[in-house]
Structure 1
Amino acid sequence: MPPLATSPLSRRQLLQFGAIGGLTLAACAVTPAFAGPGSNPAVTVTDLGPAVTAFSHAAATRVGDTVYIASRNIAPFRIVGYHIPTGTVTSVTNGPGISTQLLVPDAEGRYLYAAIRQYNTAPGPGLIRLDLSQPGAPKQDLHDIPALDPYALAVAPDGVLFFGGREMSSDLRPRLRRYNTTTGVLDVAAIPDPKATMIRALAASENEVYIGTGSVLNALPTSSKAGLWVMDRATGAVRSILPPEFAAGIEVRDLIILDETTVCATGITPQGAAIAFIDRNDPTQYTLARLGKGGSAKNLTHADGKVYTLLGGINELDRSTGAVRNLTPQGVDLGELWGLFVRDGKIWTVSAFGLAVEIDLGTGAHVVHDVIAAGAPADAQLAMSVAASGGVVYVGGTNAVSRRELATGTTTRLFAGSEAKDIDIVNGVAYFGQYSNVGIVRHDPAVDGQWPKIVEKFPTAQNRPHQVVWDDVNQLLLLGVQSDTLGGGSLLAYDPVADVLTSAINPIDARQMVRSVATHEGVAYLGGDVTGGRGVVVAWNPVTHSELWRIDPLEDTAGVTGLAVRGHHLYVMGYRGELVVVDLRTRAVIHRSRHRDVVPNYGTLLVNRGAVYGTSSAAFFRFDPKTFARTDLTTLNGEWYGIPRSAVDEHDNFYAIRGRNLIQITVNQR
């Protein structure tokens, strides 16, 4: 790589996390925008069309000759049927919500059930089924499931549904819900562990329900770790059957019933992921098979005495010998995989890039099928990040990043697995902070084509990046990161020339993630956030990884969501819009104001030509550098799957998300 030039985007300092709003404008329309009180600058907004387009997914299953795939982060939500013999999409069924990880057929293969979180922008019954016996697989609404983010669903042989997930209600106790498909009655069958983060996996037989609890998501210091429970369907009695070896694990990730055996997959234990084969008649009798990898095994399936699972690729476990075989095709990046099943001597999985993959179990030969080309409807996703430089705009999505050339309007879909939480561009090369635990991903358009490259993995358990900024003094890429499993977070410093990554774990404290990062004159400013509230700001030396000083400036202790430095002023934005300005010479707070009317939750800050600009899901606005008064520049109603962001290029054009479209904003710089 040639010596790095100063990135024109290194000035941006961003806020975070999003909300759902919604106004999608016609592509390429130019519209006037309003300006609020203040200097009334002239503002022009140009709509550039859908920000990032793909057909990604997080659930797939096979029923007969058809693979059913549920879309993720496009509207409307869709479940498509990919017919294996013809290689075509033969059904497209619209549904509510954003996505699901749950597609489960009944024993007869007539109905396909799904549980979907009911977002405010897509209300309607979240528990649905598709009637596969009818042409087009029409949807049938079953029941509302408000206050639930569903992560587990099982259909018992008698057709009764059991499901659960992460509770969104006030008490957070994960409930095992039961739905009788004959009577239409929904009730709570059990609360296996009130301190569990969520119900993560389920399997149901005629007489029992097996319940896996725990999660890497939203765990608190008081949360239980991995749990495995069995409920007697006749009495409702629940007891633990967790093997002691799994007690240190974070979650039980998947469950299936195989004759008289319960097969349990766990992950993120000190010894790595493992599968337990538990005697259903005497759960104290079990055998363990270790997979030799970290992470969580998922999508268990079986055939001919072997068990298959997804964990860093496709794995085959021979129960008789304990041997593990990696079946992942070589020489092709499949990204995030969901769904696993065996058919006619081949194992199938579906890449979130919109690719169905079949692998011959005997020869290892593989064939990749493009589901989008077969008829799956690609559409505008919810955005996660935006960066601009050199006539190019990148927008991060789910298992896709779009690269738009402004001069021609040409957009290229990049295959970047999982979620690009933030992006920065340095000397024409884009760097993505890629969740979950993927690492730093590079896209050099001169050599990488559609396939960005992972250049560095994140440190162990540091999995959720929040912000990526370029430190032009120290020539370092800085990333603020969160640990979902341990709490706290880290600051990562990557030298692209030396290809060296250094890290500081918990630079703020053991509970606060590094939600926001700003860099100025070689100093990194770290904004803290933690579940339950707090928001400390730390001045940090990113070369020596040492603290310079810290302050606790916010009155509303809901976390720092954005930082920016203009001259000797540090701007600190809190969750729901508290703005504090700190004089870096005295470290005294010289201004405090509240802006919840335009910052309903998270947002971002950036600096351009001597002024600080703010972005939220609701609006794009500017602060006066002398009075700190806010001027509202344009409404956004941006639909984000993450933290609302904006970017500015070297021509002083801003880029943001309105609805699901990318817009260019020009502002009179006076």
Structure 2
Amino acid sequence: MPRRSLAVLAALAVTLSLTAVPAEATPRTCDRPRVETFGPASVTGAIVGAAVHEGRAYVVARGQKPPVLAEIDLATRKVVRSVRLPDAPATGEPEGGWATAVSGGKVYVGTYPVPDLYSFDPATGEVAHLATLGRNGGFVWSLAAAPDGTLYAGTYPDGRVKEYVPATGAIRDFGVLAAGERYVRAVAADAVNVYAGLLDKGRLVAIDRATGAVKELAQGTAGIGVVADHGDRVLAVSGPTLIDVRKDGTDIRRVALGSGSLDALTVAPDGTVYGTSRPDGAVHRYRTGDGAITKVADPPSQDDETRRLALVDDHTLVGFSGSGGMWSLDLRTGVPDFTDLIEAGLPSGPERPQSMLLVPGRAVYVGGHFFMDVRDLRTGKQRRFRVPGEPKDLVRRGDKIYAAIYPSGQIISIDLRTDRVRGVAHLGHDQQRPWDIEYDPVTDKLLVASAPLGGRLEGALSVIDPRTGRVDSYLGVIPGQSLMSLSLDSRRGVVYLGGDVLGGGGVTPVKTTASVAAFDLRTRKVRWQADPVPNMRTFQDIKVHDGLLYGVYKRDSGAWIALDLATRTVKHQGTLSGYGELTVHRGKVFASTFFGGGNAYELGAETRHLATGLGDDWYTNPQLHFEPGSWRAWALSGRHLARIDLDPRCPLLTITQS
């Protein structure tokens, strides 16, 4: 149910302090149409949840509104039916469902970013909304059915396990499992217990279904994101370690997984465990007592995330890939068979983009989930190709684009002429959230600002040689904070860094105020660090221009500042509708922001409100990409690729979404 926040809109009217444009300064070009749209910016067939039941697979689309639940005939590998999950009465709209389970012949789906529970009855085709398990902005991350059909859901951001009884609709909350925990990322259930993997705290716990008593079975070295029932034992994956423990917490075994991890497990009737590794996607097997996992086959879908594994007979393993694929693997031969789900009939649709890059006169690149969509500016044609994850930011170096990829923390290159994708480097050091990337033409290096995944605070500045892939990592360059943004002054050899006291989340911050720091690329040392505004916790973006460092704070009332680099004092400050990304163009600083319908501004001694109604459909930062020598910028209008006129001399541009 789309809603506009009246409170935000009312606040805009009184707090923005916008400057009107004198009528005599308005050029004639302002009378021409100022918005062009070009269809969906990023088209997706990506999936999150998946389940297998009686010769059929059920997958849930990611990023589409409303989400698609598709039924696939495993024999023909074709989508035979699809339904949409209807919007529920609570505030917010579902965009996907990570959590799926089968109970009593029905398929159950837990959604995000509203944590709702739905059922689909294959016999009747009926879809039903059953319950709301939290507030707007939450997730049902995991779902498991006990032998008696009772369902157990792991939720975010409250970090809890909740019970749902299909026969009665009764809901039970097992309460806080660990102080400060936000993610119950994985659950499994048997007749006695629920087993939950805690992502922030890295704990595997057993919850007595009758009494609610909680017992810790194992402590991991990293967040636990995969849990599987294995007879009298429980399996869990904690970063680069497979934990194999008896259900009473005894006889714990830890198996090193090497440099990667496992993202899905399934147990065969004979006790053999099959798993897929991340980031490559290869297939492995394990049995209790083995000192290592054994590779069974090369990746059926290279560098992909596996959402679900299942054995459909004694020798056939089926996997479901996050990019929107399904594969089967003959365990006797190791030969896979891959199916693109869009080609199989999965309805595709527009998703919220991750990133954008304009190559002037040539193309606009839009990063989505495991795909890049490209609009050729010379021909007007669209094309798309696969990338190994979510490109959180893009930068150009010569005839290549470089993308910072989540969740692998990988940097890839894309050839502008051929669309060929190649891996360049991995950030390592648990830096799986690369938020910002820039290119330094003086040193011919890539610069990446990143954050860790899960319960860690300190991020890193990575200096990468694109020719050799060498990574010089500067962990904790702002002590006690991760990095959300950077801005390069190549002439002075300095990169400025914007901090975030929350880090990867799930751990108590040690700072209360986000810092900025100046890092010398020649000496590789921090020149200075400052805390411009007390108790502002996160710099969403920073940009240096004309002796000032402009910064936009995240979720802190849309606050922005301009910091004098010479004196390190705040020269200008104000309030926008929300947070977003900064752009310098033709000597001016622009901001594009979330909330209040999606807005664009010019920042300076006075703030000009340039456009409203752009929509709030970016997945990461709202962005503007200006064409050289003009005021036309590539952006989004809703989920459509758009080119908008942001001439500061024109009146406020109001866009109405259809």
Q: Please report the TM-score for the alignment, with normalisation by the length of structure 2.
A: 0.85
Q: Is the 8 A contact 1:47 1:661 kept in 2?
A: yes
Q: Is the 8 A contact 1:476 1:493 kept in 2?
A: yes
Q: Residue 72 of structure 1: CA displacement?
A: 0.7
Q: Is the 8 A contact 1:79 1:93 kept in 2?
A: yes
Q: Residue 240 of structure 1: CA displacement?
A: 2.4
- In structure 2, do the counterparts of structure 1 residues 528 and 21 end up closer, same or farther at CA, with 3 Å as the change threshold? farther
User: Is 1:610 aligned to residue 587 of structure 2?
Assistant: yes
Q: Is the 8 A contact 1:153 1:201 kept in 2?
A: yes
User: Is 1:445 aligned to residue 416 of structure 2?
Assistant: yes
- In structure 2, do the counterparts of structure 1 residues 378 and 198 end up closer, same or farther at CA, with 3 Å as the change threshold? same
- In structure 2, do the counterparts of structure 1 residues 229 and 318 end up closer, same or farther at CA, with 3 Å as the change threshold? closer
Q: Residue 322 of structure 1: CA displacement?
A: 5.2
CA offset digits 1:421-473 (Å, max 9, x no partner): 11112223111110113311111033444xx2211111221110111122233
Q: Show the counterpart of 2:622.
A: 644
Q: Show the counterpart of 2:229.
A: 257
In 1, Cα distance between equivalents of 2:225 and 2:558: 37
Q: Show the counterpart of 1:594.
A: 575
Q: Residue 393 of structure 1: CA displacement?
A: 0.9
User: Is 1:548 aligned to residue 531 of structure 2?
Assistant: no
Aligned partner letter, 1:273: T
Task: Flag structure 2 segments of 5+ consecutive residues without an equivalent.
Answer: 6-17, 88-93, 503-508, 650-658
Deviates more, 1:66-75 or 1:333-342: 333-342
Q: Residue 151 of structure 1: CA displacement?
A: 1.7
SS, match of residue 572 in structure 1: strand
In 2, Cα distance between equivalents of 1:151 and 1:374: 26
CA offset digits 1:125-147 (Å, max 9, x no partner): 8111111222xx33121111223
Q: Show the counterpart of 1:368.
A: 338
Q: Show the counterpart of 2:244.
A: 276
**Partner of residue 376 from structure 2, selected from 383, 395, 405:** 405
Q: Please report the TM-score for the alignment, with normalisation by the length of structure 1.
A: 0.84
Q: Residue 332 of structure 1: CA displacement?
A: 5.9
SS, match of residue 228 in structure 2: strand
In 2, Cα distance between equivalents of 1:198 and 1:668: 44
Q: Residue 539 of structure 1: CA displacement?
A: 1.2
SS, match of residue 97 in structure 2: coil
User: Is 1:105 aligned to residue 76 of structure 2?
Assistant: no
In 1, Cα distance between equivalents of 2:647 and 2:610: 13
Aligned partner letter, 1:614: A
In 2, Cα distance between equivalents of 1:209 and 1:541: 51
User: Is 1:628 aligned to residue 616 of structure 2?
Assistant: no
Q: Residue 286 of structure 1: CA displacement?
A: 4.6
Q: Show the counterpart of 1:348.
A: 318
In 2, Cα distance between equivalents of 1:189 and 1:621: 44
Aligned partner letter, 2:110: A
Q: Show the counterpart of 1:456.
A: 425
In 2, Cα distance between equivalents of 1:252 and 1:499: 30
- In structure 2, do the counterparts of structure 1 residues 287 and 408 end up closer, same or farther at CA, with 3 Å as the change threshold? same
Q: Is the 8 A contact 1:299 1:310 kept in 2?
A: yes
Q: Is the 8 A contact 1:255 1:300 kept in 2?
A: no
Task: Flag structure 1 segments of 5+ consecutive residues without an equivalent.
Answer: 1-18, 23-34, 120-124, 220-224
Q: Is the 8 A contact 1:556 1:578 kept in 2?
A: no
SS, match of residue 327 in structure 1: strand
Q: Is the 8 A contact 1:21 1:639 kept in 2?
A: no
Q: Show the counterpart of 2:652.
A: none
**Partner of residue 357 from structure 2, selected from 367, 375, 387:** 387
SS, match of residue 408 in structure 1: coil
Q: Is the 8 A contact 1:263 1:277 kept in 2?
A: yes
Aligned partner letter, 1:292: G
Q: Residue 308 of structure 1: CA displacement?
A: 0.8
User: Is 1:114 aligned to residue 109 of structure 2?
Assistant: yes
Q: Show the counterpart of 1:436.
A: 407
In 2, Cα distance between equivalents of 1:519 and 1:386: 19
User: Is 1:233 aligned to residue 209 of structure 2?
Assistant: yes
In 2, Cα distance between equivalents of 1:503 and 1:21: 43
CA offset digits 1:260-297 (Å, max 9, x no partner): x23222222xxx3213042x4x5424544443344354
In 1, Cα distance between equivalents of 2:68 and 2:289: 40
SS, match of residue 64 in structure 2: coil
In 1, Cα distance between equivalents of 2:186 and 2:20: 53
Deviates more, 1:559-568 or 1:366-375: 559-568
**Partner of residue 198 from structure 1, selected from 179, 183, 193:** 183
SS, match of residue 645 in structure 1: coil
- In structure 2, do the counterparts of structure 1 residues 529 and 334 end up closer, same or farther at CA, with 3 Å as the change threshold? closer
Q: Show the counterpart of 2:544.
A: 565
CA offset digits 1:68-108 (Å, max 9, x no partner): 111111122111111121221011121151122211112x5
Aligned partner letter, 1:228: L
Deviates more, 1:368-377 or 1:323-332: 323-332
Aligned partner letter, 2:559: E
RMSD: 2.6
**Partner of residue 257 from structure 2, selected from 266, 280, 291:** 291
- In structure 2, do the counterparts of structure 1 residues 326 and 20 end up closer, same or farther at CA, with 3 Å as the change threshold? farther
Q: Is the 8 A contact 2:301 2:338 kept in 1?
A: no
SS, match of residue 310 in structure 1: strand
Q: Is the 8 A contact 2:514 2:538 kept in 1?
A: yes
- In structure 2, do the counterparts of structure 1 residues 669 and 427 end up closer, same or farther at CA, with 3 Å as the change threshold? farther
Q: Residue 323 of structure 1: CA displacement?
A: 5.7
Deviates more, 1:494-503 or 1:388-397: 494-503
In 1, Cα distance between equivalents of 2:44 and 2:400: 22
In 2, Cα distance between equivalents of 1:647 and 1:497: 27
Q: Show the counterpart of 1:90.
A: 80
SS, match of residue 632 in structure 1: strand
Q: Show the counterpart of 1:310.
A: 276
Q: Show the counterpart of 1:142.
A: 130
Q: Is the 8 A contact 2:19 2:607 kept in 1?
A: no
**Partner of residue 504 from structure 1, selected from 452, 474, 481:** 474
User: Is 1:583 aligned to residue 564 of structure 2?
Assistant: yes
Q: Show the counterpart of 2:267.
A: 301
In 2, Cα distance between equivalents of 1:481 and 1:161: 37
SS, match of residue 240 in structure 1: strand
**Partner of residue 655 from structure 1, selected from 628, 634, 650:** 634
In 1, Cα distance between equivalents of 2:176 and 2:229: 21
SS, match of residue 187 in structure 2: strand
Q: Show the counterpart of 1:491.
A: 461
Q: Show the counterpart of 2:15.
A: none
Q: Residue 378 of structure 1: CA displacement?
A: 1.2
Aligned partner letter, 2:127: K
Aligned partner letter, 1:226: G
Where relative contact order (Cα < 8 A, 6+ residues apart) is larger, the structure is 1
In 2, Cα distance between equivalents of 1:437 and 1:507: 21
In 1, Cα distance between equivalents of 2:273 and 2:224: 17
- In structure 2, do the counterparts of structure 1 residues 206 and 584 end up closer, same or farther at CA, with 3 Å as the change threshold? closer
**Partner of residue 486 from structure 2, selected from 514, 517, 521:** 517
In 1, Cα distance between equivalents of 2:166 and 2:271: 33
- In structure 2, do the counterparts of structure 1 residues 606 and 157 end up closer, same or farther at CA, with 3 Å as the change threshold? same
Q: Is the 8 A contact 2:265 2:309 kept in 1?
A: yes
Q: Is the 8 A contact 2:433 2:450 kept in 1?
A: yes
- In structure 2, do the counterparts of structure 1 residues 377 and 240 end up closer, same or farther at CA, with 3 Å as the change threshold? same
- In structure 2, do the counterparts of structure 1 residues 363 and 660 end up closer, same or farther at CA, with 3 Å as the change threshold? same
In 2, Cα distance between equivalents of 1:376 and 1:311: 26
Q: Show the counterpart of 2:12.
A: none
User: Is 1:425 aligned to residue 396 of structure 2?
Assistant: yes
Q: Is the 8 A contact 1:100 1:114 kept in 2?
A: yes
